[in-house]
Structures are given as C-alpha cells and as structure tokens.
C-alpha cells in the first residue's frame, strides 16, 4: 500500500466514527448494537484521539456518568430507547438512571485515560476521571474477589467481552435454563446465525440475566449463589494492566493515596494471575472457581498475559513458541481460539475469528516484552485484513472474510490509533 491508500482508509475510518457518533457516545455499529458499550467506548476513544482529543475525552466521560453507586461501570448504557435490541433495559431490570445492564465489561478505560493524558497533557480532565476509575477497580476487588484470591470472577460470559468462547461451554452447562421462557433474539435479524452464538448459548445467557435480576443485582447475593463464577484470563489480564496504568497516572497527577491503592490491588492481581498458569498447556487459562477446574484449551485471552505486564522467562518462551504455532496454522494472526482444536470455528464470533482490538492488546504486550518482530507481524496482518475486507467487527483468519457488523467503530479506531502510519496526516482538523 502507498500513502494515498492509507490516507483513504484513514478517511473511511474517521467517517465510520462520525457515522456512529451519537454526540457524546458512539454506538459500535448502527442496527446490531444501538447503545453505548463499555469497552467499545474506551477503545473507540483511542481512534478519536487521532483527530479530535476533546471528543475522545467526552467518550470516556459519558461512559463514567453511568457508573453505579457501588462503583460498577455497566457493560451497556441505554441512553435512548430502541426496541430493535434484545435484551433491552426492561429485561435487565436494574432500575438505574440512566437505564443500564446489570453486569460490567473488561476495564480498559484506565489504560486509555492514561494514553489520552500522555497525548493531551490535560490534567483537569484526567484528574476528574481517576477517582471514578479507582472506585470501579475497587468494586472488582471487593464484589468479584470477595475471598481476596487475586483473581476476579465474571458472572456472565458477556462480561468477558468474548461472549461465546469455548472456555465457557462447560461452566455454562451447569446453568439451569428451565425458567427462561420464550424470547425473540434480535441479533440474528442483522447477522447470519452461523456467525452468532447458538440458541443453547443464548438460553444460558438469559438464565444468568434472570438470576441477577431476581436478586436485584445485589453483589453479595450474586457472589454467594451465582451459577457462573469464572476467573477469565482476559479480564484479569486487562484489569491488572489497568491498575498499573491507573497507579502511574495517579502518581503523575500527585494523588499518592490513590496510586498506592492501585499498586496494592495490582500486586495482588499479579500474584493471583499465576494461579491461571497451566503446565499442561504451557499458557494461562481461565478457571471455573466453583469447581476449581481450568480450561482445557488456550484462547486469544491467553496471550493477553503479555499485555498485563512482564511475563516470566520460563513461561514466555513456551508461550511464544505456541503463538508462532498458531500463526503458522492460519493466514492471518491472531485467531481468537486454538486453530488446531476441534471446536475452532473460523467465522463464529469468538470461537476463531480475528479481532482488531485483541490484536492491538496482544501486540502492545508483545512489544512491552521485547517481542517486537512478532508484534509487527500482528499489526501487518491486521492492516491486511482491514484493507482487504473493510472495517468489519471481526475477520476470518483463513480467508480474511469480514464477519459480524460492518462499519464497526472499534475496528475503525484501531486503524486510526495503531495500524495506519498516516492517520494523523490526513489534514482533518480537531473540532
């Protein structure tokens, strides 16, 4: 590709963010996802930062306005009604204002806020956010790690952001779906069913929604009885990284007490994270904490260990060898699930496809751990996928076919913030 090709894709990416911009928040893509999603917004802010730093800050600020009193930041904020989405605010029954879902998502926001601050130097805006971020992280430490194991649990696969990952198949199999009743999915009206979670998965998802709603989304009641209580390797890695970024940001802003709290939580997570190591698989895996059973396979979440921070050499070496093996089995890195496994599905959501946002995190972590050539391979493959197929939600690692929603905000954002070498040279001025 030449510079003009890059610049044209830069303009397309900016146009997608503009198309999906609702003023102070951005929908992932119109139709399929018509509200504000938690980690989508945080990641989208990186894209805005390449051409409009004020708009980038507003994306995060709007998300944090929906924070619960407990500290939890919900995974969906229903700023407006849209009957075309299921489950909507009525199904969640959180009685929150603004209406929200009752669960959270991977806490990437602190990492993004640190990047926005380092880019803009805006101390006032950063300082106004760090207390809310600290409160969210503390909520994870208390509500989702009540035994202080250094591992936070998810109570629903949607909290992981990787909804139908095979890691959840067995823990979900214990969820009682007898009281779910009938409902009408909306996602398969927008996207082919062979790209979406199965009906069986959805029954279990809705049973977990009902479980939380029946307990008024009370953290203690949920921790005591949740039928799904899993330490996701991905969310634990992301939170561990976010704690260190929050601590660094707080120190820079002179808030030493907050920095100390974040460092303490990070150290506990760092220690707990080693409990996810599998000698059998030579990688970090998720853990069903009800049954003390580790997942029997690796996923893209396993490589987020590099994103979390330093990986011990005796773990890093076999992990890099395995990652190279994965890459050798596909055309484009990095599949979201082990391509050699019988459950691998190259086009069904999180059971195989490549996601630009996960690639960015893994590449960032690889570079931090001095695997620069491999990080660049991941970036180049992401560039090829987007330039070949367009700004899709995800991509087939075998054919580069785009899957899920088109004109997808976080894919556009990753192009602007990471993939493109020209995104800040297009001549578009900040508003």
> d(Cα 399, Cα 113) in Å, to the nearest integer?
35
Cα dist. 198→60, 163, 164, 193, 348 in Å?
Answer: 32, 11, 8, 8, 9
Q: How many CB atoms lie within 10 A of CB 177?
A: 16
Place of tokens 């996602």: 187
Q: What are phi and psi of 259, to 5 degrees?
A: -60, -40
Which among 399, 19, 350, 368 is positioned nearest to 201, based on CA atoms?
350
> Cα angle vertex 245, ends 423, 352, to 5°?
65
Report, as residue numbers or ranges, the catalytic residues.
163, 393
Q: How many CB atoms lie within 10 A of CB 293?
A: 13
Residues 6+ away with beta carbon under 8 Å from 284: 233, 237, 273, 276, 277, 278, 301, 302, 305
């Amino acid at each position: 590709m030449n510079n003009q090709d890059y610049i044209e894709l830069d303009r397309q990416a900016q146009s997608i963010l503009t198309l999906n911009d609702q003023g102070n928040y951005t929908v992932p893509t119109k139709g399929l996802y018509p509200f504000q999603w938690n980690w989508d917004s945080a990641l989208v802010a990186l894209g805005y930062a390449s051409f409009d730093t004020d708009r980038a800050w507003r994306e995060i600020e709007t998300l944090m306005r929906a924070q619960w009193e407990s500290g939890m930041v919900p995974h969906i904020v229903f700023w407006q009604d849209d009957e075309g989405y299921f489950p909507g605010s009525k199904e969640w029954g959180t009685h929150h204002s603004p209406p929200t879902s009752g669960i959270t998502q991977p806490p990437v926001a602190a990492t993004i806020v640190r990047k926005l601050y380092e880019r803009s130097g805006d101390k006032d805006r950063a300082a106004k956010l760090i207390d809310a971020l600290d409160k969210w992280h503390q909520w994870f430490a208390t509500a989702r790690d009540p035994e202080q194991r250094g591992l936070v649990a998810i109570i629903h696969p949607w909290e992981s952001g990787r909804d139908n990952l095979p890691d959840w198949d067995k823990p979900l199999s214990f969820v009682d779906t007898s009281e779910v009743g009938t409902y009408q999915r909306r996602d398969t009206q927008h996207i082919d069913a062979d790209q979406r979670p199965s009906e069986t998965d959805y029954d279990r998802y809705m049973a977990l929604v009902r479980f939380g709603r029946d307990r008024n989304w009370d953290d203690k009641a949920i921790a005591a009885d949740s039928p799904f209580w899993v330490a996701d390797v991905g969310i634990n890695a992301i939170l561990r990284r976010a704690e260190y970024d929050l601590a660094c940001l707080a120190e820079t802003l002179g808030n030493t007490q907050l920095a100390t709290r974040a460092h303490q939580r990070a150290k506990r997570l760092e220690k707990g994270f080693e409990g996810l190591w599998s000698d059998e698989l030579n990688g970090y895996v998720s853990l069903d904490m009800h049954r003390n059973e580790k997942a029997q396979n690796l996923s893209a979440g396993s490589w987020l260990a590099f994103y979390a921070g330093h990986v011990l050499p005796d773990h890093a070496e076999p992990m890099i060898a395995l990652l190279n093996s994965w890459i050798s089995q596909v055309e484009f890195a990095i599949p979201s699930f082990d391509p050699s496994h019988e459950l691998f599905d190259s086009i069904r959501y999180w059971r195989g496809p490549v996601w630009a946002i996960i690639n960015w995190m893994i590449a960032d972590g690889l570079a931090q751990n001095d695997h620069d050539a491999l990080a660049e391979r991941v970036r180049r493959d992401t560039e090829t996928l987007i330039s070949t197929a367009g700004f899709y939600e995800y991509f087939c690692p075998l054919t580069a076919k785009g899957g899920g929603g088109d004109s997808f905000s976080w894919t556009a954002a990753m192009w602007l913030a990471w993939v493109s070498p020209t995104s800040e040279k297009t001549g578009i001025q900040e508003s």
